[in-house]
């Protein structure tokens, strides 16, 4: 009888130890699961280091702040942007802030690369733009790209500036949305980040900024990421530009809730 009680006690102790072990393991896996889920969720809410660099490079190029641009270019390269990606950012900008700003940006970038090479830094060149193999006319290609950006078909009837000066609408479709957006070095989402950055920095173009912030939402940027974008404009460019951009963003976000 005594031996039976001893065996029973040993069995109960083993069972308790087994249950305790299972609970500990379960807690550990649950903890790691929560941490992973939180990290994944938080990473989706914030801009990447590369995206932040794209914003700064575009903004400083757009306003011609070349000393700050040099710092942003170095940070962008250190963050992993390739030489060709940064060149593409600066080339893209000329459609919004003109050839003079874009060319000065490229000249500044050459200086930065020369300085880094002299310091023994070898930067990744990156891929070149792929050849465009498309039988459609440039106008139709641009129209298709724009429809993808805005997420809906375009009407055939022109209005506003497009009706007032039809040639500019043709230039936009054939050059901006075909020649430039068809280049695959940057994604559509990255190009739109470049666009809203320069538009926010130069100011006075709220209707265009509104359209492109709406496109950013359509391409998958979250409200948190776009608010973070405005905070970068505030720290890099100024409170006035950030306040104007925030007002437009609030309009876009409110309209998107309806």
The domain spans of the chain are 49-129+183-257
166's tokens: 């039809």
pLDDT of residue 134: 87
pLDDT of residue 7: 52
Q: How far is CA 207 from CA 40, 65, 199, 225, 227, in A?
A: 34, 24, 10, 21, 18
216's tokens: 């950013």
217's tokens: 């939402």
- Give me the mean pLDDT over the 132-141 stretch: 93
Q: Is the pLDDT of residue 9 over 80?
A: no
Query: What pLDDT, in 10s, does the model give residues 147-175?
Result: 999 999 998 888 999 999 999 999 999 99
**Dist. CA 256–CA 240, nearest whole Å:** 25
Q: What is the rounded average pLDDT for all residues in the chain? A: 88
- Give me the mean pLDDT over the 105-128 stretch: 98
CA nearest 146: which of 121, 176, 169, 177? 177
pLDDT of residue 14: 53
What's the pTM value of the predicted model, to 2 decimals? 0.83
Question: Domain 49-129+183-257 is of which CATH architecture?
Answer: Up-down Bundle (1.20)
pLDDT of residue 10: 55
**Dist. CA 213–CA 215, nearest whole Å:** 5
């Amino acid at each position: 009888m005594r031996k039976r009680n001893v065996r029973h006690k040993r069995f109960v102790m083993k069972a308790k130890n087994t249950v305790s072990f299972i609970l500990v393991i379960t807690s550990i896996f649950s903890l790691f699961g929560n941490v992973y889920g939180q990290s994944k969720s938080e990473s989706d809410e914030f801009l990447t280091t590369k995206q932040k660099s794209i914003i700064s490079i575009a903004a400083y190029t757009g306003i011609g702040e070349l000393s700050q641009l040099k710092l942003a270019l170095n940070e962008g390269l250190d963050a992993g942007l390739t030489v060709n990606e940064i060149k593409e950012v600066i080339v893209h900008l000329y459609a919004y802030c003109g050839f003079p700003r874009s060319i000065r940006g490229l000249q500044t970038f050459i200086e930065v690369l020369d300085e880094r090479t002299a310091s023994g830094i070898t930067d990744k060149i990156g891929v070149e733009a792929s050849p465009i193999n498309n039988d459609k006319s440039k106008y139709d290609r641009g129209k298709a790209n724009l429809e993808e950006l805005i997420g809906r078909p375009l009407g055939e009837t022109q209005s506003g500036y497009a009706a007032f000066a039809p040639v500019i609408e043709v230039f936009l479709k054939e050059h901006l949305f075909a020649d430039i957006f068809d280049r695959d070095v940057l994604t559509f989402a990255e190009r739109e980040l470049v666009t809203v950055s320069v538009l926010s920095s130069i100011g006075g173009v709220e209707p265009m900024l509104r359209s492109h912030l709406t496109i950013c939402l359509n391409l998958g940027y979250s409200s948190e990421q776009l608010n973070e974008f405005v905070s970068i404009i505030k720290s890099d460019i100024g409170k006035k530009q950030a306040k104007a951009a925030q007002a437009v963003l609030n309009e876009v976000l409110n309209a998107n809730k309806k």
